[in-house]
Amino acid sequence: MKAKKVTKAIFPVAGLGTRFLPATKSIPKEIMTLVDRPLIQYAIDEARAAGIKEFIFVTSRGKSALEDYFDNAPELESALKKSGKDDLLEILKETNMDSGAIAYIRQNRPLGLGHAVWCARRLVGNEPFAVLLPDDVIAAEKPCLQQMVEAYAETGGNMVAAMEVAPERTSSYGVLDIGEDMGSIVKAKGMVEKPAKGTAPSNLAVIGRYILSPKVMTNLNRMKQGAGGEIQLTDAIAEEVADGNVFGYRFRGQRYDCGSKAGFLQATVAFGLSRPDLRDEFGAYLHDMIALQKAAQ
């Protein structure tokens, strides 16, 4: 056991969500729902399962719906109590956060993911911390961050979730340069954010789950601009490879890119089909739709 326990997580949720306009004109992207749960709830549940106790949201203007979502809703709760809807009260409980367990920090300018994470530096202090990007929704038997916490207990250092992607897609991701490949764990000898086509060091891409050392925060202090003129988290992590302290973790599970419309729809179908209360009706509908489409071709 090399590593200190990870109890704090940062959720960068300051993005404008322009890919989902007009919906995101008045609701934060993270409140958009997969079936009946907002994207952010999936990330929070995953963090809780991994032992996270302090939740730090890096927000921006127009995200107050997120704060309300995690607060008590006294009128709603008493109405449900009065009408004896205990099952719904139970569901609401998942959204309640203890006072002091959740903090909101504003990123007042969109300077990149690295900058968003850096905004939480004072709350993180001198401890390892997790970062979860709620756009990346990961369906897994054992939640992804929990898998990583277990692997990290052996490696220490810094760990990023990793997944093989098609070579023509590497320019959309942070990409690992593989030093030593140990199967589920990979030691990185480099990391590049959004490599230009044809220059990626591998097709092992970084997915939005990280366990990072406080050293990465210190690296972010330099505010170095990277890909797209933004302050990149990938670059601050990459500075740690020289010490052999950066690991990729090939998680077991299915990742959905809910930052894209197609990915969001795929996740909606997958989560809809995995729900016992919807599976039959929704499955039959999809089946008929496909049959109709085939017949029309």
State which residue, 6 or 137, has the beta carbon closest to ligand G1P.
137
CB 175 within 8 A of CB 163: no
Sign, CA torsion 198/199/205/209:
negative
Q: Which residue's CB is nearer to ligand G1P, number 166 or number 296?
A: 166
10 vs 205 by CB, closer to ligand G1P: 205
Cβ atoms of 239 and 232 within 8 Å: the answer is: no
CB closest to ligand G1P, residue no: 174
**How many CB atoms lie under 10 A from the CB of residue 166?**
8
Q: Would you tell me how many other CB atoms lie within 10 Å of the CB of residue 232? A: 24
> How near is the Cβ of 169 to ligand G1P at its closest, in Å?
10
CB of 175 vs ligand G1P, minimal distance in Å:
8
Minimum distance from residue 152 beta carbon to ligand G1P (Å): 18
**Which spans of this chain sit near ligand G1P (rule: CB under 6 A)?**
113, 133, 136, 173-174, 193, 205-208, 233-234, 259
For residue 237, the minimal CB distance to ligand G1P (Å) is: 9
Nearer to ligand G1P, 22 or 228 (CB): 228
Contacts of 73 by beta carbon, 8 Å cutoff, 6+ apart: 92
- Least distance in angstroms from the C-beta of 212 to ligand G1P: 13
Give 38 or 208: the residue with its C-beta nearer to ligand G1P: 208
Do the beta carbons of residue 121 and residue 218 sit within 8 Å?
no
Residue 207: C-alpha distances to residues 5, 270, 293 (Å): 22, 19, 34
